Every structure is written in C-alpha cells, then in structure tokens.
C-alpha cells in the first residue's frame, strides 16, 4: 500500500517570539517493509533547518529561527510504500540493545494496579502474552479524546479507564516491561478509508520477541500493524518520539493548530 501524508502544524504567538527551536521527528526511516518514495519538510519562516539522527536512530530535523516570529507553520508531505510484515520490523536503525527498553520512565512507570493486571497474564510464549496484553487493554480502556493530555501517565490513564492511543501505548509498554519484555513507543500514521484531517498522528507500541524481533502492537485498535501503518519514530515513551517539541523566548500565550491526513495514495495506471 502507498500511503500519502499531509501534516501541517501552526504556532501563533500573542507577542513576537525569539530564539525559536523546534525538534521535528516527522520523517520516516526506511526498513524492510517500508520504502520512502518522497518526503519533504517545509517551514514558512526564515531560519536554519538541519537533518540529523537522534539517539534512537530516528530522523530528526532541527529548526532554529532567531526571530522575531509571530506565527510559524511546519508542513510535511510525503509518500511511502508499506508492505505486510505481520507487524515485525526488520532493517530499521537499532542503536540500542533491546534491554535498554526495559527501563521505565515517568510516563510509563507501572504502578501497583498495572503490575497486578500484567501479572494476571497467563504464562506462555512471549508473543502469546503480548497478544493477551493487547487484547485485554483494548477491551479495558475506552477511547476518549477529551480524557487525557500529553502529560498523562500510564498509571493515571489506567486508573481513569479511558484515553487516547498515546495512553494505550504507554500502558501496554508499562505492562510488557513488568513481564520482563522490552517495549517501546512508536509514533506514526494510520491510513484510514475516507480519511479526514485529524488533530494528531497515531501511536502504538513495539515489543521485542525472542527469535522474531521487534513487533508492533496497537492496543487502541486491538491489532498488530499492517500495511495501513506508517512508522515514523520510536523511543522509551511519547517524549522521545513526539512529532514536534520546541522552545522559545517570549511570545506570550501560544496557540497551536494541527491537521494530519494519511490515506492510501492512488496509483498511476501503467499501460
């Protein structure tokens, strides 16, 4: 499947901002099941845009504008060919050993309730246990876009019983690590039929399965990633893989508007 992405993020400031810095993890890296056909990142103010890699192997664009800046729009467009690998990721940049992804973070720390829930998972092969975690969490946590924010922890979302894809991923990661299985956060896109602009990209998790490798699990939808999923960035939690994170001097109150569209690209007919 060819997935075409259009992603625009606009910042508006009440007063001129200076020293604007943005870290952009919006460009996918290729792997065996994902070929980047075209990709472009544009910023509509004068500044310096530099491409590099972060510690997790993600493509990272760093943007700096001295200012003054009153509004700023970052536009991402691209097309990627994704093939079915049953959620298994091979050939992606892997700077760290899987054991690094056993380390908890404030967003993915397992409290007593998550530990007790994870411990109820029947013994068996790691892949079976991970599928049980995904299925159980999909049934347990109600999807609710108004219930949580980017600062919500796995423990808070689990106690509330509702959240968004970020919360599903954080809880799954916390539970998998509780069982001794390395797990990490994934940000990316999910192509949906008849898609309309969304206010955020998608998120899911990957866990390391012995003799299989890193394998994706999407507890928000109760499935493993298929060719509708475009993988962009990974990390220990949301903060490591967030599409955009930034800082600035001044500017007063900030207003943010995001529009994301990911859908199957129409193929040109070959005669």
* Spatial separation of the C-alpha atoms in residues 78 and 27, rounded to whole Å: 9
Confidence of residue 145 (pLDDT cuts 50, 70, 90): confident
Position 17 in a domain: yes
Position 159 in a domain: yes
For residues 153-174, give the mean pLDDT.
96
Q: Indicate whether 168 pLDDT > 90.
A: yes
Calculated CA dihedral for residues 78, 84, 90, 95, nearest 10 degrees: 40
For residues 239-249, give the mean pLDDT.
94
Other beta carbons within 10 Å of 265: 15
Q: What pLDDT shows up at residue 49? A: 96
Residues comprising the chain, all counted: 271
Rounded to 5 degrees, φ, ψ at 112 are -60, -35
Q: What pLDDT shows up at residue 268? A: 43
Position 35 in a domain: yes
* Domain CATH for 91: 3.10.620.30
Q: Indicate whether 266 pLDDT > 80.
A: no
The predicted model scores a pTM of 0.93
Q: What pLDDT shows up at residue 270? A: 39
Position 270 in a domain: no
Q: Indicate whether 267 pLDDT > 70.
A: no
Structural domain tally of the chain?
A: 1
As beta bridge partners, residue 27 has 59
| Averaged confidence pLDDT in the chain | 93
Q: What pLDDT shows up at residue 150? A: 85
What is the CA 88 to chain-centroid distance, rounded?
A: 16
pLDDT tens figures, 76-123: 999 999 999 999 999 999 999 999 999 999 999 999 999 999 999 999
Position 174 in a domain: yes
pLDDT tens figures, 10-30: 999 999 999 999 999 999 999
Q: Indicate whether 57 pLDDT > 90.
A: yes
Position 181 in a domain: yes
**CB-count burial class (<10 Å; 0-12, 13-18, 19+) for 120:** exposed
Q: What pLDDT shows up at residue 161? A: 93
Question: How far, in Å, are 3, 79, 98, 252, 260 from residue 266 at the CA level?
Answer: 9, 11, 37, 43, 18
* Spatial separation of the C-alpha atoms in residues 90 and 95, rounded to whole Å: 13
Q: Provide CB contacts within 8 A for 22, sequence distance 6+.
A: 43, 62, 63, 72, 74, 244, 245, 246
Q: Which domain holds residue 55?
A: 2-264
Position 11 in a domain: yes
Q: Indicate whether 149 pLDDT > 90.
A: no
Confidence of residue 158 (pLDDT cuts 50, 70, 90): very high
Order of strands across the sheet that contains 202-209: 213-217, 202-209, 183-190, 229-235
Q: Provide CB contacts within 8 A for 129, sequence distance 6+.
A: 121, 122, 123, 179, 181
Position 83 in a domain: yes
Omega within 30 of 0 (cis) for the link into 68: yes
Q: What pLDDT shows up at residue 195? A: 63
Write out the two tokens for 179: 């069982």
Q: Indicate whether 219 pLDDT > 90.
A: yes
Q: Provide CB contacts within 8 A for 116, sequence distance 6+.
A: none
* Spatial separation of the C-alpha atoms in residues 34 and 26, rounded to whole Å: 15
Residue 140: its H or E element: helix 126-140
Q: What pLDDT shows up at residue 67? A: 84
């Amino acid at each position: 499947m060819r997935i075409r992405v259009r992603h625009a993020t606009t910042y508006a400031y009440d007063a001129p901002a200076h020293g604007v810095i943005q870290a952009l993890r919006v460009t996918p890296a290729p792997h065996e099941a994902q070929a980047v056909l075209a990709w472009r990142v544009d910023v509509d103010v004068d500044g310096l845009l530099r491409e590099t890699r972060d510690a997790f192997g993600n493509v990272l664009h760093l943007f700096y504008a001295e200012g003054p800046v009153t509004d700023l729009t970052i536009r991402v467009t691209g097309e990627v060919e994704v093939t079915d690998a049953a959620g298994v990721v091979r050939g992606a940049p892997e700077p760290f050993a899987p054991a690094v992804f056993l380390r908890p973070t404030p967003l993915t720390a397992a409290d007593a309730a998550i530990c007790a829930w994870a411990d109820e998972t029947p013994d068996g092969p790691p892949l079976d246990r991970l599928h049980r975690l995904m299925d159980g969490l999909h049934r347990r946590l109600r999807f609710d876009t108004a219930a949580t924010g980017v600062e919500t922890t796995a423990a808070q979302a689990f106690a509330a019983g509702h959240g968004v894809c970020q919360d599903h991923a954080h809880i799954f990661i916390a539970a998998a690590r509780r069982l001794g299985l390395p797990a990490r956060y994934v940000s990316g896109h999910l192509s949906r039929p008849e898609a309309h602009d969304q206010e955020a990209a998608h998120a899911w998790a990957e866990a390391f399965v012995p003799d299989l490798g890193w394998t994706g699990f999407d507890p928000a939808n109760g499935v493993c990633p298929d060719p509708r999923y475009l993988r962009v960035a990974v990390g220990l939690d949301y903060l490591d893989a967030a599409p955009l994170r930034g800082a600035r001097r001044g500017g007063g109150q900030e207003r943010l508007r995001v529009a994301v569209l990911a859908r199957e690209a129409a193929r040109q007919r070959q005669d």
